[in-house]
Chain A
């Protein structure tokens, strides 16, 4: 069974940093691209960042470019999202999602349950 378990969400002050993790199990982690998708309270879905199966290619939404960094550790079957210079508009539920393909651009067939990032002073 494919499982994605996010963690690391917290209450953080504006300008702060946070690292989100997504522990994957039930599939060969290093053969699938992965992404982070977020959803602000009461709002729609927003794709944030993606990474290829090998980790060699990374992609970002314009709204987070330069502040967020995606990475993966195949030895731990874990996906990460480093979030820096947090803004109020970054407050959201962050989902980890598995791409159907190995380099991305194929849709997301499995999703975690999300980890909540709250931004407040």
Chain B
């Protein structure tokens, strides 16, 4: 199975800051990677699919980039509602695998 390594596992930031989360795959997955946000007690929410495509309704301050094995999620100008845990997911092949998650906390 493809392994996804997210970093950092947690970070502290202030409202208005820019944040970058990385996800590294154990093999080439093309651009078959998505990003999900999970707020406490809530179901995950799709933010980005196919590396850089913004899901409908998601604010443009979220963006994704990368290809092959290295991917990033960038949040430009953190808002209070963005403090949550973020996961990457590879949908290149089965079994699908998630990264370990990155918790974004308020500084």
Contacts and interface: CB of A to CB of B under 8 A. Distances in A.
Contact of B34 (A61, A107, A113): A107
Report the contact-size class of chain A (Cβ under 8 Å from the partner): 20 to 34
Contacts of B45: 111
Interface in A34-60: 35, 37, 44-47, 50, 59-60
B89 A114 contact: no
For the complex, would chain B's binding face be called helix, strand, loop or mixed by DSSP majority?
A: loop
Contact of A35 (B36, B96, B101): B96
A9 interface: no
Contacts of B50: 107
Interface in B28-51: 32, 34, 36, 38, 43-46, 49-50
A14 B43 CA distance: 27
B71 interface: no
B91 A104 contact: yes
Residue of B44, B46, B91, B98 with most partner-chain A CB within 10 A: B91
A105 B91 contact: yes
A27 to B, nearest CB: 14
B43 A113 contact: yes
Interface string A8-38: 0000000000000000000000000001010
Interface of A: 35, 37, 44-47, 50, 59-62, 95, 100, 104-109, 111-114
